[in-house]
Copies of this chain bind each other. A is one copy, B any other.
Amino acid sequence: MKKTVSDLKIMETLRLAGIARTPQRMAVLKILQDSNQPLSIGLIREKLETQTNINKVTVYRIVSLFKQKGIIRDVSASGGSVYFEMATSEHPVHPHFSCNQCGMLSCLTPLTFSHALQLAGSRDDYRVDHIEIHISGLCNGCLHATRLQNPPLKDRS
């Protein structure tokens, strides 16, 4: 297998973060990089298992290292599950949508700065570091696939 552009990008990312480029880290980063939606650790491990066989503990350690180095950020979905996505400048903080039916989590377009400011309010009794917006409902697929089988969600928590 030859080196792709994506591989080069991965190596550069690790170099910039100042951490060693081990095969395990490359593999995990590649998966995150290539995904167009945030991934849970479980999903990352699933994808890994098809290729390499990296120990569970190692995956947890790599992900938390990436997070600590600011390479990735976490997104908490409803129900308490945590997902991860790249934290590059091309992929700035943005709202997410999750489907209550199939669980799929996807990225929406980023907010404007002024919009985000409005949300955070102008209070001065706390310091805002991060704003996370999570929209949930039914995705396009489930909306059509289950039109007749499922009543509208009553559970709007």
Contacts and interface: CB of A to CB of B under 8 A. Distances in A.
Contacts of A82: 79-80
A67 interface: yes
Interface of A: 67-68, 70, 72-74, 76-82, 87, 95, 97, 99-100, 108-109, 111, 115, 118-121, 125-140, 143, 153-157
A129 B137 contact: yes
B143 A129 contact: no
B76 A100 contact: no
For the complex of A and B, the 9 pairs showing the least CB-CB separation, nearest first, are A73-B157, A129-B137, A80-B82, A132-B134, A125-B140, A127-B138, A127-B137, A128-B137, A80-B80
B130 A143 contact: no
Given A78-B76, A133-B132, A126 B155 contact: no
15 contacts: A67-B155, A70-B154, A74-B79, A80-B80, A100-B129, A115-B118, A125-B139, A127-B143, A129-B137, A130-B136, A130-B157, A131-B135, A132-B133, A132-B136, A133-B133
B153 A129 contact: yes
B134 A131 contact: yes
B78 A74 contact: yes
A133 B121 CA distance: 12
A136 B129 CA distance: 6
B129 A156 contact: yes
